[in-house]
Every structure is written in structure tokens, then in C-alpha cells.
Chain A
Amino acid sequence: GAGVSQSPRYKVAKRGQDVALRCDPISGHVSLFWYQQALGQGPEFLTYFQNEAQLDKSGLPSDRFFAERPEGSVSTLKIQRTQQEDSAVYLCASSFSFTGISYEQYFGPGTRLTVT
């Protein structure tokens, strides 16, 4: 079946612009995660949804970052007034498990955001 898809794959934004990154999880996956991967680093957790509920947003770096999953499937990560330090690959992952604990997460290809 189809895996996790993300769009756009590449995004160039001028500093100060707002961007929206989309994630389509695997059908039926309850849990959805967003990670940020800086160049040369491992992914770092941003936020987690279980269905439409955002259960953990402790990793969001500032109030310029906002995520939603209104119908419990597609999710959007929005970054307002982008800054150069926001340049990174944003990865979305989904998981079947209700609790998201022991089941592996399946990752999308990521969106590479470059802020100029």
C-alpha cells in the first residue's frame, strides 16, 4: 500500500514568509509525528497527534510553529515568519499503535525547507 507522503518535497521561502507543510499518513494509522532534521543531525521531535488530538507539542521550537490534524488523517505543519534557523528537513511519521509506544514509525520522504 501507499506509504507516508509529504508535500511539497522542496520549499524555498524568503525570511518572514509563512509556509505550510503537508503530511498524508498511512491509511488507518492513528498516531502521527513531526520531526525536524537539521543538516548532519538526527531527527528531533516536534509534535505528536493521536487521531485529531495533539497530545504533545513540547518539541515545537517557538510559537511560530503550529501543527494541526483536524480530521485525524492529513496533518499540516505551519511555520509563521520563517527565519534562517528554520531551514531543515521536516519529516512526518505515522504509526498504527493507539499508544504509539511499541510499534515502529513509518516516515515520509520529508520536506526540505530553505529560508533565504
Chain B
Amino acid sequence: AQSVAQPEDQVNVAEGNPLTVKCTYSVSGNPYLFWYVQYPNRGLQFLLKYITGDNLVKGSYGFEAEFNKSQTSFHLKKPSALVSDSALYFCAVRDGGSGNTPLVFGKGTRLSVIA
């Protein structure tokens, strides 16, 4: 069975500083990894995904994530945080080798960017 861990409930960062939101995963087959962002009273918005290929994935709004197979991690990063990045971030995984499996989400990390 797949699982995702987001070890930090809350991350605080000053505007202009780099940010990292951590995610580790467990999956029996090939990991298909996703990051979503959720703003208040809105659905989840897709940021980026890793399926195969380059370990560094670039996504929307300047976000990127690095797939690390040995550490089973897929941390979300941004070089310079904006106040508007403040939101709830979810990491999700799907087992790419087991047919039509659903996304399994972490519990989410609330990012607060302080001006």
C-alpha cells in the first residue's frame, strides 16, 4: 500500500527567502509523485509531477521539486517565497506499476510567508 508523510504541519518563511516543504513516500512499485496547493474555499490546484526522467521537476508559479529515490523523498522548493504562496500544500503518490490506483495524499503542510 502507498503512503505519504509530510512531517511538518506548518512552515514559516520570510518573503524573499527560499522555502522547502518536505515529503517522503512509500510505494511498492514505481512512484508517480504530485504536489497540489489548496487555497481557502477552493479546490486543489496541480503544481507539478514526477513520473520519470529528470529528478528535478519544474512546475507552476516558480515551484520545483526534487525526486530522490534513495531517500524516498520529493521535497517541494522555491528559491524566493512570496506572500501569495501562503496556502496548504499536499504531496500525493500513486503506484505507477499497479494499474488504476488512486492518489494517496499526505496530511498537508501549511505554508506561511511573512512579509
Contact = CB atoms under 8 A, between A and B. Distances in A.
A43 B44 CA distance: 10
B45 A43 contact: no
Interface residues of A, number: 27
A41 B43 contact: no
A99 to B, nearest CB: 6
Q: Main SS of the interface on chain A?
A: loop
B84 interface: no
Nearest to B52: A102
Interface in A43-69: 43-45, 48, 50, 55-56, 59
Contacts of B96: 101-102
Contact of B43 (A33, A45, A50, A91): A91
Contact of A104 (B46, B100, B105): B46
Interface residues of B, number: 26
Given A42-B105, A101-B32, A101-B94, A106 B46 contact: yes
Nearest to A50: B100
Interface string A1-20: 00010000000000000000
Residue with the greatest number of chain B CB neighbours at <10 A, chosen from A41, A48, A56, A105: A105
Q: What are the nearest 10 A-B pairs in CB distance? A: A42-B105, A45-B102, A107-B43, A107-B44, A104-B46, A109-B43, A102-B51, A42-B107, A43-B105, A108-B43
A26 to B, nearest CB: 12
B104 interface: yes
Interface of A: 4, 33, 35, 40-45, 48, 50, 55-56, 59, 91, 93, 99-102, 104-110
Nearest to A33: B102
A45 B107 contact: no
Contact of B100 (A4, A44, A99): A99
A110 B90 CA distance: 16
Contacts of A106: 46
Interface stretch (B12-20, B34-42, B62-70): B34-42
A48 to B, nearest CB: 6
